Amino acid sequence: MSEDVKKIVTKVGRVWDRLRRFEAPFQIAAFSFLTYYVMEFFLSIPMMTPFPMQLFNVFLYSMIGTVLFCLFGRLKVAMIVETVFFTLVGMINGYVYMFRSSPVTPFDLLSIRTALSVAGDYSYVPNFQVFASFMFGLCGVLLEYRYCQAVWKPERCLRRVVCGVLAAALFCVSGVCLATPGFPESHGFDTVPWAGKMNLVDGTLPAFLIQFGWLSPEPPDGYDAAAESELFEYLDNEVGPLWDGDPSELPDIVVVMNEAFSDLGYLGDVGSDVDPMPFLHGIMAGDAGGDPVAQDVIENGKVGWMGTPVLGGNTANTEFEFLTGCSMRFLPVSTVPYQQYVSPSSPSVVASLKEAGYACTAMHPYLNTGWRRNVAYPDLGFDEFLALDAYDMENPDALCRGLVTDEADYELLLEKLDAGDGPQFIFNVTIQNHGGYAQDELEPEVVVEGEEELSQYLTLVHCSDAALRELVSALMQRERKTVLVFFGDHQPATDVSIGVAREGTMLRDFYNVPYLIWTNFGADVSGTPDHTSSNFLAIDMFRAAGLELPTWQRFLCDVRGSYPCVAAHDVIDASGTHLDEMPEDVQAGVEADLLAYARLQYYLLLDRESR
């Protein structure tokens, strides 16, 4: 070997020895990049994330990897722990998205008990994306086991501590910045969590950190507690008693919020062999088809569309809107107010009905701790909560897929209604149609060729439609005046419905369900808008019962005069125009108009110190 070649080899060797000093940082960065991709593949395609955002994600994972390396002292252990942990988190995130069309959020940490209690209702057979992502993560672990050999030497203890503390500090500073309101928007991060958009644009970890800043909502622009207090007192002085007659003459009020009940025909042709909801469709078309029950609803009721705040899950948010008149539009999207905001001072239609002389009962055939209802319902004013233990779970005819059927639910509702002495308000949340539409024990009666989950969902809705007819028929026979308000809480997850949607379907269309208001004594309910939202529907309940509107509902009635639907994902003005169809300057005017609603809601729901 010539002297020149020896010199070159020597130099290369020296460079290689110097580079080996940075072996650990290089491997942390490389395998953090791999871990990031594994995490994202469970939910989306990470290559679609802007490259600067990808680098920022890798930075965050690298800081975690560095902290673990400094903690364990062995790079192999640190990187395997990081990859295994985020592979499992990514898998959970992917399944949650499949089940409810939205990823895991910080607020789900408050709902772990609820999530675990319904976990058995779903199918966990992995699709190709889940399987491929898991195998990708397994390959990463094998590579880390083979190549990550760096260890911290005892004599470098001080450097090890400094590196660990510095990495932890950089990660924490990044997290605090992301969770600071206004910072993400001003630095190019996406803060629109619809259908996982934040996760796709920002990456799952930054999106998760951003939402920590939503735990305590900021007051709306121009908020002044003293001004809102003065406004509410002024409105309150203008309102008389809800009912100044004999309480025994008040009608009973039954509100049924039906789990996942929706008409997917709103999105497009469902392609089923039979009509999934012939009773409700006949009423919508004004054609009873010779059915006296449907004819009575046509003559004495009103059907229309209602915007909901959620899709595929988070049922409690729709009932929160109905029971309080508050809109999720003015709250962080991922919150569940039953767990964060509801208190005895919250606005509540239940409290107003109690003042008028009603006995108030909540019903839901599920664990009373679900969504913290055992605390939220008493705070809202309910006298009694009939949860799962009130139902006959030993009767197989009362169950479908292990859940109480609508038919059995309504039987208990009618028993409770008939057992009461004075006027009753019953708020009933059903469970029959809960997500998890791949159960072998349910034979579909409504079939869509090649669509097992859609067929099962439509079959359940078909059963709900029949049970609704029987409920109306039973209420028609009652001597006591009765008001019925019926609506779904949300559509099923988009995994079930996306194949139905026609071309050009807007995202907001997935947040609409049917509603029905009817009385057995011929009250005029024609003034209800054709398209409203769940936060406004109680206005029509009060009117149908012949009651004066409470202060808060009277204010909401004025808002609805200009905007019949103010939903989390849509606003519709009096001409029927959707917010996203308006010019930008008009949209800004609408948002400015709705600030009065947002401010008074903040005062009534969140500003407890000023009240």
pLDDT band at 457 (very low <50, low <70, confident <90, very high): very high
Task: Using alpha carbons, list the distances in angstroms from residue 591 to 17, 57, 181, 572, 595.
Answer: 62, 33, 19, 12, 6
**Residue 417 to residue 424: CA distance in whole angstroms:** 7
**Residue 296 to residue 525: CA distance in whole angstroms:** 13
Task: Using alpha carbons, list the distances in angstroms from residue 162 to 68, 443, 504.
Answer: 13, 62, 55
Tell me what the mean pLDDT of segment 29-44 comes to: 89
Provide the CB-side half-sphere exposure for 375 (13 A, CA). 11
- Looking at the predicted structure, is the pLDDT value of residue 387 above 50? yes
- Looking at the predicted structure, is the pLDDT value of residue 18 above 60? no
Backbone angles phi, psi at 230, to 5 degrees: -65, -40
**Residue 209 to residue 174: CA distance in whole angstroms:** 9
Provide the CB-side half-sphere exposure for 4 (13 A, CA). 0
**SS3 category, 399:** strand
Percentage with pLDDT > 90 across the chain: 64
Tokens of 239: 């309102």
Tell me what the mean pLDDT of segment 263-271 comes to: 94
> Which of these, 527, 521, 508, 515, lies nearest to 581 by C-alpha position?
508
- Looking at the predicted structure, is the pLDDT value of residue 545 above 50? yes
> Which of these, 91, 87, 70, 73, lies nearest to 31 by C-alpha position?
87
Mean pLDDT lowest among 147-156, 356-365, 401-410, 461-470 = 147-156
Tell me what the mean pLDDT of segment 282-306 comes to: 96
Tell me what the mean pLDDT of segment 341-360 comes to: 94
User: Looking at the DSSP assignment, which residues form a beta bridge with residue 256?
Assistant: 428, 486
pLDDT for 195: 53
pLDDT for 16: 45
Q: Residues 6 or more apart from 21 whose CB is under 8 A from it? A: none
Task: Using alpha carbons, list the distances in angstroms from residue 518 to 281, 298, 464, 470, 512.
Answer: 15, 9, 17, 14, 20
CATH classification number, 230-605, choose in 3.10.180.10, 3.30.360.10, 3.40.720.10, 3.10.150.10: 3.40.720.10
pLDDT for 19: 47
Report which secondary-structure segment, H or E, holds 23: helix 23-41
Percentage with pLDDT > 70 across the chain: 93
Average pLDDT, the chain: 89
Mean pLDDT lowest among 104-108, 200-204, 482-486 = 104-108
Residue type at position 385: F
> Which of these, 326, 328, 325, 270, lies nearest to 490 by C-alpha position?
328
The domain limits of the chain are: 3-214, 230-605
Mean pLDDT lowest among 102-116, 268-282, 372-386 = 102-116
Q: Residues 6 or more apart from 599 whose CB is under 8 A from it? A: 219, 220, 222, 223, 224, 228
pLDDT band at 114 (very low <50, low <70, confident <90, very high): low
- Are 437 and 99 in contact by the 8 Å Cβ rule? The answer is no
